[in-house]
Chain A
Amino acid sequence: MNAPELPRSFDPGERELPNPLPRPEGEFETLKRAWKPPRGLAFITAVNNTYVGLWYVGTAFLFFILAGILALIMRAQLASPENDLVSHGLYNQLFTMHGTVMMFLFAVPAVEAASVYLLPNMQAARDLPFPRLSAYAFWAYFVGGLVFFGTIFFGLSPDGGWFMYPPLTSTKYSPADNADWWLLGIGFIEISAIAGAIEIIVGVMKTRAVGMTLDKLPVYSWAMLVFAVMIVIGFPAIILGTLLLEMERAFDWPFFIAERGGDPLLWQHLFWFFGHPEVYIIFLPATGMVSMIVPTMAQTPLVGYRLVVLALIATGFLSFGLWVHHMFATGLPKMSLSFFSAASTAVAVPSGIQVFAWIATIASGRMKLTTPSLFVIGFLFIFTLGGLTGVMVAVAPFDWQAHDSYFVVAHLHYVLIGGMVFPLFAAFYYWVPAASKRALSERLGRWVFGLMFLGVNVTFLPMHVTGLIGMPRRVYTYPVGMGWDALNLVSTVGAFMIAAGVAVFLFDLARNFRFTSEDNAGNVWNASTLEWLPNGNYNTRSIPSITSRDPLWDQPNLSKDVEEGRYYLPGTVTGGREALVTSPFDARPQYILQVPGPGWQPVLAAFFTAAFFLLLTVKLVFPSVICGVLAVGCVIWWLWETDPGPVRPPADIGGGIVLPVYATGPVNHSWWAMIVLMVVSGMVFTCLLFSYLFLWLVNPGAWPPQGVRIPDWIWPSLAALLYCACGALIAVASRQLRGSDRRSPRSVPVLVGVALPLVCGASALDLWTQWESGLSPSAHAYGAAVYAITSLQVFFVLTSLTMGAYTIARWLAGRLDSVRRTTFDNTMLFWYYTIGQGLVGLLMVHGFPRLTGGL
């Protein structure tokens, strides 16, 4: 760890500003030049967070409109009983796509997109720490999402519901490709979401304004941090679920087929372990936005900052303990229902804290009734109602009636539209002046709000009753004379009112939204946070030191001083793009990160990744593999330019702070990203172990099933030995690579080179052992589970192999030495992880069946 000591002169409270005026000739011009986006066709290679963020938000909003149109068709179909506007087949695709697109292509990307735009600005960072990763995430989502949506025009859309319950979605009952579109299309968009989450975690923890300690972090940043951690923990479950289901569909591995020892409920556990937190994943960023908008509109600091932050964390924590409330009707014992019932109602407490914090803030200030305020008020109305019906459905006996009826449709739309769409519209009206030359129209905004607010209530309030008088969900039509006709017609009218509101919003955007990164409308609301500092492509001219949660209110002249370059790092010390990396808790400057600029690599990598998955979906295996190889190639090409090493001696950023332009170890931003990636991988593996144990539970006495022979101890012991040996080799290589004298010992590539065949050998040995014992992956869920664990390990070993070879290549190219060793460190971390996973896997596969009575 070569973090700089804190300079003595550093004190965020001091009156003297770090950099004197006048600023040197050309300093500002160099800064501007470094951050200029490319022109012409190459414009799409731009990676500035403002551009990527805006494209990202725009694309997410496009999917909101598209999925909304699907909903209008459904509402038109349901306007009267026995209507035949659309066929049952199309209707089933429509509701599956409506849910899937709204959840995976609108809601999660929209909040992630907004944070790509807002987070760096709010924290006065120059950019996110991995701008190319955001670009990659965006382009993968853009291409994959549009192709996925396009399937609706060809009748190829998935039609098994957004929850994709097997066995309905298994090959037997859904033989066509439709289900594969969901599994591969969505599986891969989840990867994009995880990339974004890694970016957000590192961005919040490592790139902040100087002095922005954790207790001065904007609530929005807190919300995004919790959001990203939840993605990292929750999304692996669905990624694993889609993997298992796709393996069942493609290779007939019976994870969910009851006749062969599988269980359809396994999918439901995996799906809802992701699916319920998903709701809060969408909701928390929206509350973060509200916590930024309310204080501005009331012109007073947020009341109960600490309580609100605690509530965010508590919500995130609790949300992982209540997935079973989606499974109250699956026949689980009442004992476990009681537990999940209690946990589900308990989540009302942190939500209550937030609601009352906003009410208290409004009461302590003077709320201006602007369009953002109206949307916030609308949010509070709608969300409170949705929250209360949420408590109702959390009570299991009531849920036995309400479950899968229109009551739940009403509840979830109140929660999601209230909890996410209204705050998002508030955010549009609130933050457009930061991205556009003109603010949006307050007059039109009132119409948008009025139509949407009325529309939502007219659509969904009656549905509570429709559900309780017996109308089930996901029906393409309903019989005459059930008493549902009038209620459905009212709901349809309401849906078109919402659509009218959105149409007025689009008109407002067309009239008033003029994107700019240089001369925005400015701080029109007199807000207190740093995204309202004067900014350009480089974000803020200099990086402020802040002493308050509301710096623009409490630190007079901050805007002017920042703009004149009187704060830290007013130019560029390496001539390229730079960001200031700060310590995670108290935001002290640690080093100057050389940020990569625009490039084709992330765009091409994203296109080829999308092509890999999409071609695989339509079973064009060979072209798909080519695209996969090209995608990996592009990623390597992209990585090759990273890890630049200390290109110059430590530089003065002002105020006597001298920082290195390179750092390794836990100070390094990519070290953090690698740790998060390991958590993601660990969660995928944990979910797989859970699946293994779950399948054991549904097969008491048949684990392993009759006739299956567990391989002899000798083989797994040998594999474990190989894993340990290669771990030791890597550890030795790491020791060899120590020292501040920029040594690059020849032993490093040799040790890594020897470790490569060892790790491959361990994994191959285990696979061979299972195969040799005659275990079939498709005969019984036992075999499927064993091969799933072994195959996942093979995938990790192959990744380690690529990383090891890449590390050797870096050494050969002279890009790896004892100082410039981030590449090696990250490879080492991943390698250790792979070894650990391999050992746990061996223990599980060979040890557990012996415990349960196998031989």
Chain B
Amino acid sequence: MSCALAVAGCSGVQSALDPAGGDAQRIYWLTVIMTVGGTLIFLLVTGLLLYAIFAAPERRAWLGGRRTIVVGGLAFPIVVLSVLLPYGLTVMRDTDVPTPGALPIEVVGEQYWWRVRYPAEQERGEFLTANELVVPVGRPVFVSVTSADVIHSFWIPNFGGKIDMIPGRINRLNFTAERPGIYRGVCAEFCGDQHARMAFDVIALEPEAFEAWRLEQVKPAREPDLPLLARGRELFRTGGCGSCHAVRGTEANGQFGPDLTHVGSRRTIGAGQFPNNIGTLAGWIANVQHIKPDARMPSYGSLTGEDLRALAGYLESLK
């Protein structure tokens, strides 16, 4: 298994074997050490078993007594566990530790997407986004999670372990991104029909880039600067999109679905399902129930091609 791990230890956007933060790094080494140790013990036990079967009777006789059980079954595991357990508990103590001055983020799991809120910090205002977590490299992050409906679980393998999102409870997860890059988080607790399509992007930016992003996010939605986009905004209004979605700066203030104020700036749509561009946005609006059946949003298949393009174009312009 250790060699399998080595082979698979390649980079991945959603991999516990490619740690991008201190916690994930600690757990990674715990994994490596336990895997190597476990493999050695496995080889020892199966080696003894084969020896007991195939060695000549006089050579294997020493193995055939109570001593084997006491040494192999009692003493050996106790010794191994007495070493492993303190090590494991130490890793636990040092993992997921709250740090003062951490960046607070609140995430609410919903069937089947993530509502993300950045609370106000000093002069920087609060804002809502969805299905995307942008974090600064090097600064500890403090995520408070809960759920609006059923139990979900918040897991970014490259940054560390998972934490369940339980209705009525607020759980916390601390981690620090130590390498800029794009990672992927996923819902790890079965949450219903579209559990399989409930992911999110995690983007670790250099601190300056993060602040710039944050400044943009706090702003209200930008005004459409082309007639097509203006028409898109009108369709958004008349189509009733605003009863579920909010676009700050417009009259759309629905709270049911994701906040779309800066939807065009996000990498993906549909909770980490498709790259975000005008084509996928249009496909999503017209066909949600085909591509993510039983998601809470209905398909809007009756829009004409041109209307659809305008609407998707408007959303795409909300950078």
**A residues apposed to B, CB below 8 Å:** 87-89, 92, 160-161, 165, 167-168, 173, 258-259, 262-265, 303-304, 307, 311, 329-331, 334, 337-338, 341-342, 345-346, 348-349, 352-357, 359-367, 369, 377, 380-381, 384-385, 388-389, 391-392, 395-405, 461-462, 464-465, 468-470, 472-479, 482-483, 487, 698
Contact = CB atoms under 8 A, between A and B. Distances in A.
Contacts of B199: 479
| Most chain A beta carbons < 10 A, residue from B38, B88, B195 | B88
Nearest to B189: A404
Given A307-B69, A345-B84, A476 B196 contact: yes
B221 interface: no
A784 B216 CA distance: 49
A751 to B, nearest CB: 51
Contact of B293 (A87, A356, A397): A87
A461 B8 CA distance: 13
B88 A362 contact: no
Given A304-B66, A363-B55, A384-B46, 19 more contacts: A92-B192, A160-B190, A160-B192, A173-B192, A258-B168, A264-B151, A330-B164, A330-B166, A360-B66, A366-B57, A367-B52, A380-B46, A381-B46, A388-B42, A400-B160, A403-B162, A468-B157, A469-B8, A483-B12
B294 A88 contact: yes
Nearest to B171: A331
13 contacts: A168-B151, A168-B191, A264-B168, A330-B171, A331-B171, A349-B81, A356-B73, A363-B55, A363-B68, A369-B53, A398-B30, A400-B161, A473-B190
Interface of B: 1, 4-5, 8, 10, 12-17, 24, 26-27, 30-31, 34-35, 38, 41-42, 45-46, 48-49, 51-53, 55, 57, 60-61, 63-66, 68-74, 76-78, 81, 84-85, 88-89, 91-93, 95-96, 111, 149-151, 153, 155, 157, 160-164, 166-169, 171-172, 184, 186-196, 199, 273, 293-294
A92 B111 CA distance: 15
Q: Tell me whether chain A's interface is mostly helix, strand or loop, or mixed.
A: helix
Contacts of A403: 153, 161-162, 188
A470 B42 CA distance: 25
Contacts of A401: 16, 24, 27, 31, 157, 160-162
A359 B187 CA distance: 43
B161 A397 contact: yes
A469 B14 contact: yes
B12 A469 contact: yes
Contacts of B63: 359-360, 363-364
A311 B70 CA distance: 12
A482 B12 contact: yes
Given A329-B153, A477-B196, A357 B191 contact: no
A148 to B, nearest CB: 20
A398 B81 CA distance: 15
B226 to A, nearest CB: 33
Given A331-B164, A360-B63, A468-B15, A342 B85 contact: yes
Contact of A264 (B27, B160, B167): B167
Nearest to A163: B190
B50 to A, nearest CB: 9
Nearest to B192: A168
Given A331-B166, A404-B189, A352 B76 contact: yes
Contacts of B10: 483
B7 to A, nearest CB: 8
Nearest to B67: A360
Contacts, number: 279
A321 to B, nearest CB: 15
Contacts of A359: 45, 48-49, 52, 63, 68, 72
Nearest to B28: A401
Contacts of A365: 64
B42 A360 contact: no
A468 B66 contact: no
A461 to B, nearest CB: 7
Contact of A361 (B64, B71, B195): B64
B41 A388 contact: yes
Contact of B89 (A329, A338, A377): A338
A338 to B, nearest CB: 6
Contact of B73 (A331, A349, A474): A349
B95 A469 contact: no
Nearest to A478: B196
A479 B53 contact: no
Given A345-B84, A360-B64, A363-B68, A258 B169 contact: yes
A464 B38 CA distance: 13
Given A338-B89, A468-B5, A353 B69 contact: yes
Given A384-B45, A404-B189, A353 B73 contact: yes
Contacts of A477: 196
Nearest to A267: B151
| Most chain B beta carbons < 10 A, residue from A168, A303, A331, A469 | A469
Given A303-B68, A304-B66, A360-B69, A474 B190 contact: yes
A400 B294 CA distance: 29
B188 A472 contact: yes
A280 B186 CA distance: 31
A366 B85 CA distance: 38
A336 to B, nearest CB: 12
Contacts of A377: 49, 53
Nearest to A304: B69
A400 B45 contact: no
B73 A355 contact: yes
A468 B16 contact: yes
A784 to B, nearest CB: 15
A118 B194 CA distance: 46
Contacts of B89: 338, 341
Contact of B167 (A258, A329, A338, A474): A258
